[in-house]
Amino acid sequence: MTTFLAGGTGTPKLLAGAEEVFPPAETPVIGNTGDDVELGGLLVCPDLDTVLFLDGGVLDRERWWGIADDSTHTHEELHRLADAADLEGGPRYLPHDRQTSGRGIARWRRLSGVAEFMEIGDRDRAVHVTRTSLLDEGRTLTEVTRTLADAYGLERDLLPMSDDPVASLIHTDDGFEHFQSWWVGHRAAPEIADVEFRGSDDAEPTDAVLDALDAPVVIGPSNPVTSIGPMLAMDGFREALSRTPVVAVSPFVGEEVFSGPAAELMAAVGMDPSTRGVAEAYPFADAFVLDDEDGTDLERPVFRTDTALDTGADSLRVARAVREALEAVA
Q: Which residues bind ligand GDP (CB under 6 A)?
A: 7-11, 221-223, 227, 249, 251, 257-260, 262, 307-309
| Shortest reach from residue 145's CB to ligand GDP, in Å | 18
- Label residue 8 exposed, middle or buried (CB < 10 Å: 0-12, 13-18, 19+): buried
Please say which residue, 118 or 249, places its beta carbon nearer to ligand GDP: 249
Helical H runs in the chain? 10-15, 46-55, 73-84, 122-136, 141-151, 179-180, 207-212, 229-232, 235-242, 262-268, 275-281, 312-329
- Label residue 274 exposed, middle or buried (CB < 10 Å: 0-12, 13-18, 19+): buried
**Residue 208: helix, strand or coil by DSSP?**
helix
The single-letter DSSP state of residue 82 is: H
Please say which residue, 166 or 257, places its beta carbon nearer to ligand GDP: 257
| Shortest reach from residue 113's CB to ligand GDP, in Å | 22
| Shortest reach from residue 256's CB to ligand GDP, in Å | 9
CB 249 within 8 A of CB 262: no
Query: Cis peptide before 91, with omega less than 30 degrees from 0?
Result: yes
Please say which residue, 10 or 185, places its beta carbon nearer to ligand GDP: 10
167 Cα distance to chain centroid: 12
| Shortest reach from residue 260's CB to ligand GDP, in Å | 3
Please say which residue, 87 or 298, places its beta carbon nearer to ligand GDP: 298
| Shortest reach from residue 35's CB to ligand GDP, in Å | 7
Please say which residue, 3 or 99, places its beta carbon nearer to ligand GDP: 3
| Shortest reach from residue 258's CB to ligand GDP, in Å | 3
Rounded to whole angstroms, how far apart are CA atoms 107 and 100?
Answer: 5
CB 247 within 8 A of CB 213: no
Please say which residue, 99 or 226, places its beta carbon nearer to ligand GDP: 226
| Shortest reach from residue 221's CB to ligand GDP, in Å | 3
Rounded to whole angstroms, how far apart are CA atoms 107 and 167?
Answer: 8
| Shortest reach from residue 143's CB to ligand GDP, in Å | 25
Rounded to whole angstroms, how far apart are CA atoms 176 and 157?
Answer: 34
Please say which residue, 99 or 227, places its beta carbon nearer to ligand GDP: 227
Please say which residue, 7 or 216, places its beta carbon nearer to ligand GDP: 7
- CB proximity list for 42: less than 8 A, separation 6 or greater: 113, 125, 128, 129, 131, 132
Please say which residue, 47 or 99, places its beta carbon nearer to ligand GDP: 47
Instruction: Please tell me the total number of residues recorded for the chain in this structure.
Output: 330
| Shortest reach from residue 87's CB to ligand GDP, in Å | 29
- CB proximity list for 304: less than 8 A, separation 6 or greater: 289, 290, 291, 292, 294, 321
% helix, strand, coil for the chain, step of 5: 35, 20, 45
**Residue 3: helix, strand or coil by DSSP?**
strand
